[in-house]
Amino acid sequence: MILDKINTPEDLKFLTLAEMKELASEMREFIIKKVNTTGGHMGPNLGVVEATIAMHYVFNSPKDKLVFDVAHQCYPHKMLTGRKEGFTDPDKYLKYSGFTAPEESEHDIFKIGHTSTSVSLATGLAKARDLKGEDYNVIAFIGDGSLSGGEAFEGLDNAATLGSNFIVIVNDNDMSIAENYGGLYRNLQLLKDTHGKAECNFFKSFGFEYYYLAEGNDIEKLIELFKKVKDTKHPVVLHVHTLKGCGLEPAVENKEKFHWVMPGVLDSKEAPAPQENYYSLTTDYILDKAKQDKSVVAISAATPGAYGFTPEFRAKLGSQYTDVGIAEEHAVAYASALAKNGAKPFFAVMSSFIQRTYDQLSQDLCLNNSPVTMLVYWGGISGADATHLCVFDIPLISNIPNMVYLAPTNKEEYLAMLEFSYNQNNYPVAIRVPNIPLISTGEPDTTDYSKLNKYKMTHKGEKVAILGLGNFYTLACKVKEELHKKLNIDATLVNPKFITGCDAEMLNELKNNHSLVVTLEDGVLDGGFGEKIARFYGNSDMKVLNFGAKKEFTDRVPLNELYNRYHLTPELILNDIKSCL
Amino acid sequence: MILDKINTPEDLKFLTLAEMKELASEMREFIIKKVNTTGGHMGPNLGVVEATIAMHYVFNSPKDKLVFDVAHQCYPHKMLTGRKEGFTDPDKYLKYSGFTAPEESEHDIFKIGHTSTSVSLATGLAKARDLKGEDYNVIAFIGDGSLSGGEAFEGLDNAATLGSNFIVIVNDNDMSIAENYGGLYRNLQLLKDTHGKAECNFFKSFGFEYYYLAEGNDIEKLIELFKKVKDTKHPVVLHVHTLKGCGLEPAVENKEKFHWVMPGVLDSKEAPAPQENYYSLTTDYILDKAKQDKSVVAISAATPGAYGFTPEFRAKLGSQYTDVGIAEEHAVAYASALAKNGAKPFFAVMSSFIQRTYDQLSQDLCLNNSPVTMLVYWGGISGADATHLCVFDIPLISNIPNMVYLAPTNKEEYLAMLEFSYNQNNYPVAIRVPNIPLISTGEPDTTDYSKLNKYKMTHKGEKVAILGLGNFYTLACKVKEELHKKLNIDATLVNPKFITGCDAEMLNELKNNHSLVVTLEDGVLDGGFGEKIARFYGNSDMKVLNFGAKKEFTDRVPLNELYNRYHLTPELILNDIKSCL
């Protein structure tokens, strides 16, 4: 096997073209086998096997600096830079991160997982090189729709003025995560249609030298192109047309489905019977509303699949659906203006990606008090990669004035909150879509959510009151039971529902026959919900214990380990309560 | 006077061309007089008098929707939409905001002050119009460098696909706030040089229809152009070349200086003797370091003047200075990579504008732990316009892992922190540059800041401990005095210095002989510093009072009024302490 001989990129340099082709085919096989076992990014990596081999053949990493955008397209790079065991040895499948990770290899410069950052980062590397009088190539490898993010544009704008070596490889696989959207992609299409010859050229408009390669999965042509621009003394864009999913027919046939896959995607299995969950509740709700009200619009930013916005759902909505591309900033401003002009936007977004929009949430949305419904998915502590943690959305969103951020705990509350948000015109509303299995009470929730910051006391007890926010309401129930069992305390149970405010009336009432308030939140404590409760009680005798995540970037730490670290089990919480009473 | 006859845009329609020209000249005179009296945005508004008249002549606001980018170029618009008294009557100079404000007029759709938002917002308006089957023009008026912001790009990318009426007016006055930077502006120059005829056209690359007008201060030609595209059924860009400062010679001569001016800029006065302040300390420090170390880079994002980065300072730094344009996201990523590659970046930014970079701070900077020095200016409660509040930076920055956010209280601390940050390679450091007059102790600060989160106890007392953060350390000193005078309490005084962490050792020590800890911070309380102290003491008998701003958007509220509202005077704080003891 050729791969046996490859331990560093240096080893590639001794291969013949035929051997490199053979290597590509071996790598592809391992990627398919591994990703089908562990899940992960299938299509993106299959598309860049040849480009990665050619890059490492022509350039000299780590002296030459490669920055991978999104970094989920770095599997072939990992295989060529000392980490192939993560793909060849099933026991080591989980050893390496699915993104670039400097702690793993000197060939990875940045920890990256969010899109559209590579050009900006590479510009900084190049500028440092120039200031220090050093000499090597700096390469940004961008693709999978990342060009539509504002940061990529800002990076291109500045990089174009560098006046020194700088190479952007645009891996154009015709796709974002789902289809590409936006005017820019029409230009990429025009460039492909004209074999790069169209005069109207997005990249040239910035001042980049530009080369087009139609055969982005042809190692020989890639090598030829890379050699041509190696050691260039000015900024260059290489527009390389690759095939997403190349080498795996189902992945080529269905590029969206195979962008990121669950384990076993290739194994013939009965599809599980569709079950009601928060995804289906949401899409059913939106479809229903959209039928009755032509001003309803569902919005996503390039990751529709993450919210169950399937191709069928999108087709049914037609013009009542907008995917803005990887452009969350625009999505928030766009939604704000839609609402301002009388439409009813629902913007679905992952907790991790809403991070890209703090200013738009504050200035475009909340300052203008536009009645948008924002659905924040996946919020909570998880064993995720450090680049996709979803624990920061509460501090991010809830400290912005005017915002109403809601945390439902079950199906009926969620539907009632959706309905409340849809019907009101007074504030921006964000709902933290529960990240736990669906719970149904069977009873419709008739709460009037227009009375802001009214918590719900679900059990009136004494001594200890437990505030279980959103996902962690069930944990609060368990703690209550334990308190009863182990300490014979009949604790009060509260479902706060509102993340963005304190229910002063209820909190004051608790002072009468409670000495401790416990808050539980599925997110980072710093800047979060519990601290507001602690501040509220600061001038009183009430003691307050806040439970949630520590302010830290965790990287694929098992959830149980995190729960233990943060004292988020009923037993550990009980212990802390005991020592506080 | 023609202006006497203009109370709504409708009144313009009855004017002859000659009268409109006369009107422009009258408006210009009032703008100059008013801005020279109150301060404000001079050059941008003088440049768009004709374009604004022509827009309101051709289009029918409020049916047709105008969205002004940055909105600081809306003075002529205000004069034509029922608010001329704010310019003609010195007693009403302060009645209206310097930005668009829906509460003032139906002709203002959004409250906007940050740049690069107009295209995204207008896209939402247009989409809502289309969904509702309505019919009118939607116009985004963008200029003053706003095109370099990522959100503008994301907006253009989506707007280009609208397939319905959409008009972007690019007010190209050759400038951002200072010079324009970036490849995009080279394309604008090319388009100007070729009278719009160059094939390589940034706007056309998205699919926009494109028109160029060289004479952007010629009402007749503007009207002709606007009439041509009125009621267009697809997205159009009008590239209009205007003269920033038009009609005021010094403003044309020195466009940067006259972008935003202080009162009296046109009155001949002796220039005040240069005094040492935090601006001069910073520029002196950077120049000195840059001379010794070629890897030092100062970075700004289009507002160098706000940090005393004068043209002379920039010229001295040469290639060791980068202005990235209005592109804070890129600035953070760029700085992170500079640091990663061994350079020493100092990124200066306003508290209000750092809001545009939460994700870059988290992902590009902090997750990668790059040793960048970030200087955050103007942080604190102020009487500013709602769009430029600087009270949110503490929650925004300090809840991100790995970040070290410092709050100096005097010259020596500030210099020691700069030096600490420059010399270390372990974390991103942000310094909240004091927003109060310079205080000097005369004694060098020899603190070892690498011992993170060590607060400084400046006076050891009992009963009450006062933690005065940054700007508010002097307020803490006053409260201490009052406590002594009025309650005979010898309070402990603490200068926390570190915003990003708790000094557990000191806070625990305080439990021995204190019953109350008071925190004072010059920013919003929600998600801020004080809440962390409240959380820390939650399980103890220590009482905690947090003082700072309420979570709200304030709009030109006098500072004293805010201090009273938030109980931020020594007397009010004393009262609150009394009722807590």
**Dihedral (Cα; A302, A303, A307, A311), 10-degree rounding:** 70
Domain annotation for chain A: domains and CATH numbers: 2-261 (3.40.50.970), 278-432 (3.40.50.970), 456-580 (3.40.50.920)
Round to whole Å and give the CA distance between A20 and A22: 5
Residue of B nearest to A102 (CA): B368
> Chain B window 56-75: which residues touch A at a Cβ cutoff of 8 Å?
65, 67
Q: What is the pLDDT of residue B145?
A: 87
Residue of A396, A430, A390, A522 lying closest to B395 (CA atoms): A396
Quote the minimal CA–CA distance from A333 to chain B in Å: 5
**How confident is residue A145, by pLDDT bands cut at 50, 70 and 90?**
confident
Q: pLDDT tens for residues B527-579?
A: 999 999 999 999 999 999 999 999 999 999 999 999 999 999 999 999 999 99
Q: Given its phi and psi angles, is residue B394 left (phi above 0), alpha (psi -120 to 50 degrees) or beta? A: alpha
Instruction: Determine phi and psi for B175, rounding to 5 degrees.
Output: -135, 155
Using CB atoms, which residue from B109, B182, B200 is nearest to A199?
B200
**Dihedral (Cα; A537, A539, A541, A547), 10-degree rounding:** 30
- Chain B residues whose CB is inside 8 A of the A150 CB are 149-154, 329
Round to whole Å and give the CA distance between A137 and A140: 10
**HEC readout, A299-355:** EECCCHHHHCCCHHHHHHHHHHEEECCCCHHHHHHHHHHHHHCCCEEEEEEEHHHHH
Q: At what angle do helices A150-159 and A118-131 cross, to 10 degrees?
A: 30
The answer to whether the beta carbons of residues B251 and B35 sit under 8 Å apart is no
Residue of B546, B475, B484 lying closest to B517 (CA atoms): B546
The conformation of residue B274, written as its DSSP 8-state character, comes to: P
Q: Alpha-carbon torsion A497, A500, A505, A511, what sign?
A: positive
Kindly state the tokens that stand for B9.
Answer: 């845009």
**Is residue B574 classed as helix, strand or coil in its secondary structure?**
helix
**How confident is residue B272, by pLDDT bands cut at 50, 70 and 90?**
confident
Round to whole Å and give the CA distance between B184 and B309: 23
**Mean of the pLDDT values across residues A57-64?**
98
Quote the minimal CA–CA distance from B29 to chain A in Å: 32
B132 touches chain A (CB under 8 A): yes
- Chain B residues whose CB is inside 8 A of the A543 CB are 538-540
**Mean of the pLDDT values across residues A229-258?**
95
A343 touches chain B (CB under 8 A): yes
R_g (Cα) of chain B, nearest Å: 26
- Chain B residues whose CB is inside 8 A of the A133 CB are 294
- Chain B residues whose CB is inside 8 A of the A540 CB are 543
Quote the minimal CA–CA distance from A92 to chain B in Å: 25
- Chain A residues whose CB is inside 8 A of the B576 CB are 539
Round to whole Å and give the CA distance between B334 and B324: 9
Do the bridges between strand B40-41 and strand B260-261 make them parallel or antiparallel, or are there none, so unpaired?
A: antiparallel
Chain-chain contact of B158 with A204 (C-beta, under 8 angstroms) = no
Q: pLDDT tens for residues A515-553?
A: 999 999 999 999 999 999 999 999 999 999 999 999 999
Q: What is the pLDDT of residue B215?
A: 97
Using CB atoms, which residue from A124, A364, A395 is nearest to B121?
A364
Using CB atoms, which residue from B149, B153, B355 is nearest to A362?
B355
Round to whole Å and give the CA distance between B51 and B59: 12
Round to whole Å and give the CA distance between B383 and B389: 8
Element (H, E) at A236: strand A235-241
Residue A109 makes CB contacts below 8 A (sequence gap 6+) with A65, A66, A67, A100, A102, A121, A125, B337, B340
Round to whole Å and give the CA distance between B430 and A117: 21
**Dihedral (Cα; A56, A62, A64, A69), 10-degree rounding:** 70
Residue B390's DSSP bridge partners are: B380
The answer to whether the beta carbons of residues A535 and A491 sit under 8 Å apart is no
Round to whole Å and give the CA distance between A321 and A154: 27
**How confident is residue B175, by pLDDT bands cut at 50, 70 and 90?**
confident
Which one has a higher pLDDT value, B374 or A267?
A: B374
Do the bridges between strand B492-495 and strand B463-468 make them parallel or antiparallel, or are there none, so unpaired?
A: parallel
Quote the minimal CA–CA distance from A20 to chain B in Å: 31
**Mean of the pLDDT values across residues B21-25?**
98
The answer to whether the beta carbons of residues B213 and B229 sit under 8 Å apart is no
Round to whole Å and give the CA distance between A205 and A195: 17
Round to whole Å and give the CA distance between B169 and B241: 10
Residue of A nearest to B146 (CA): A154
Edge-to-edge strands, sheet with B543-549: B456-459, B492-495, B463-468, B514-524, B543-549
The conformation of residue A465, written as its DSSP 8-state character, comes to: E
Q: What is the pLDDT of residue A180?
A: 77
- Chain B residues whose CB is inside 8 A of the A541 CB are 541
Q: What is the pLDDT of residue B273?
A: 72
**Mean of the pLDDT values across residues A467-476?**
98
A539 touches chain B (CB under 8 A): yes
Chain-chain contact of A580 with B539 (C-beta, under 8 angstroms) = yes
ipTM higher than threshold 0.90? yes
Q: What is the pLDDT of residue B495?
A: 98
Round to whole Å and give the CA distance between B111 and B441: 43
Round to whole Å and give the CA distance between A547 and A523: 9
- Chain A residues whose CB is inside 8 A of the B106 CB are none
Chain-chain contact of A154 with B154 (C-beta, under 8 angstroms) = no
Quote the minimal CA–CA distance from A208 to chain B in Å: 8
Residue A323's DSSP bridge partners are: A300
Q: pLDDT tens for residues A272-320?
A: 777 899 999 999 999 999 999 999 999 999 999 999 999 999 999 999 9
C-alpha A291, offset from chain centre: 30
> Chain B window 101-120: which residues touch A at a Cβ cutoff of 8 Å?
102, 109-114, 117, 120
Round to whole Å and give the CA distance between A165 and A63: 14
Looking from the CA of B435 toward its CB, the CA atoms found within 13 Å total 20
Question: CA A431 → CA A14, A436, B358, B447, distances in Å?
Answer: 56, 14, 20, 45
Match 């939604």 to its residue by tokens: A335
- Chain A residues whose CB is inside 8 A of the B345 CB are 124
Q: What is the pLDDT of residue B270?
A: 66
Q: What is the pLDDT of residue A270?
A: 66
Kindly state the tokens that stand for A382.
Answer: 């998880």
Kindly state the tokens that stand for A243.
Answer: 């095939």
- Chain A residues whose CB is inside 8 A of the B294 CB are 131-133
- Mean pLDDT, all residues of chain B: 96
B389 touches chain A (CB under 8 A): no
Round to whole Å and give the CA distance between A570 and A10: 53
Do the bridges between strand B492-495 and strand B456-459 make them parallel or antiparallel, or are there none, so unpaired?
A: antiparallel
Round to whole Å and give the CA distance between A261 and A200: 37
Match 């074999």 to its residue by tokens: A195
Q: Is the pLDDT of residue A437 over 80?
A: yes
Residue of B318, B277, B267 lying closest to B297 (CA atoms): B318
Match 């953070």 to its residue by tokens: B332
The answer to whether the beta carbons of residues B445 and B478 sit under 8 Å apart is no
The answer to whether the beta carbons of residues B321 and B283 sit under 8 Å apart is no
Distance in angstroms between the alpha carbons of the first and the last residue of chain A = 66
Round to whole Å and give the CA distance between B521 and B391: 10
- Chain A residues whose CB is inside 8 A of the B356 CB are 358-359
**How confident is residue A175, by pLDDT bands cut at 50, 70 and 90?**
confident
Residue of B145, B171, B191, B178 lying closest to B241 (CA atoms): B171
Residue of B nearest to A544 (CA): B538
Residue type, B290: A
Question: Helices (DSSP H) in B341-472: which residue ranges?
Answer: 351-354, 358-359, 393-398, 411-423
- Chain B residues whose CB is inside 8 A of the A368 CB are 102, 110-111
Round to whole Å and give the CA distance between A577 and A505: 24
Residue of B nearest to A185 (CA): B206
**Is residue A169 classed as helix, strand or coil in its secondary structure?**
strand
Quote the minimal CA–CA distance from A426 to chain B in Å: 15
Residue of B366, B563, B552 lying closest to B478 (CA atoms): B563
Do the bridges between strand A166-172 and strand A138-143 make them parallel or antiparallel, or are there none, so unpaired?
A: parallel
**Mean of the pLDDT values across residues A24-38?**
97
**Is residue B150 classed as helix, strand or coil in its secondary structure?**
helix
Residue of B39, B47, B27 lying closest to B245 (CA atoms): B47
Kindly state the tokens that stand for A419.
Answer: 């309905």
B125 touches chain A (CB under 8 A): yes
C-alpha A479, offset from chain centre: 31
**Mean of the pLDDT values across residues B237-256?**
95
Round to whole Å and give the CA distance between B510 and B504: 10
> Chain B window 307-326: which residues touch A at a Cβ cutoff of 8 Å?
319-320, 322, 324-325
Round to whole Å and give the CA distance between B370 and B338: 9
Round to whole Å and give the CA distance between A17 and A240: 19
Question: CA B554 → CA B39, B111, B562, distances in Å?
Answer: 20, 12, 9
- Chain A residues whose CB is inside 8 A of the B528 CB are 527
Residue of B521, B554, B555 lying closest to B398 (CA atoms): B521
Question: Helices (DSSP H) in A369-409: which residue ranges?
Answer: 393-398
Q: Is the pLDDT of residue B239 over 90?
A: yes
